Amino acid sequence: MQVRELLDVVLHASHCQTTSRLCSYPNCTLIRRLFSHAHACKVRVAGGCHHCRKTWFILMMHSRRCKDSDCSVPRCLDLKKYADRLELQFRTRRSNNPPDVHWH
């Protein structure tokens, strides 16, 4: 699956209202199963769960590209806020510790 296709199915799956487990949208059922697993998993990424790691990777990819400030993809807004905090910390450290530049 290409990145664009993956991001499209993540967006679809987050809105999918299909009550049966077999949505006709390609790979929707797979992504919905990953979402469901990640929500209920007790092992989580920290414990080494491969399915959770895959889910977080997909959600991180989505959140990095998403421009919707009211996005309904699971954890998108949290991940955007987290990335913003990391960027702010990086910039703060960088401005407090400018690189040593010696002109000869």
Domain boundaries of the chain, sorted by first residue? 3-96
Task: Give the pLDDT score at 45.
Answer: 87
Task: Just give the CATH number of 3-96.
Answer: 1.20.1020.10
Residue showing tokens 């799956």: 13
Which range has the worst mean pLDDT, 14-18, 57-61, 92-96? 92-96
Q: Does the structure show a pLDDT above 70 at 102?
A: no
Contacts of 53 (CB under 8 A, 6+ apart): 45
**CA 29/CA 32 separation, integer angstroms:** 5
Maximal CA-CA distance, the chain:
71
Angle of the 50-65 helix axis to the 76-96 helix axis, nearest 10: 70
Q: Does the structure show a pLDDT above 90 at 50?
A: yes
Q: Which residue type does 69 have? A: S
Q: Does the structure show a pLDDT above 70 at 103?
A: no
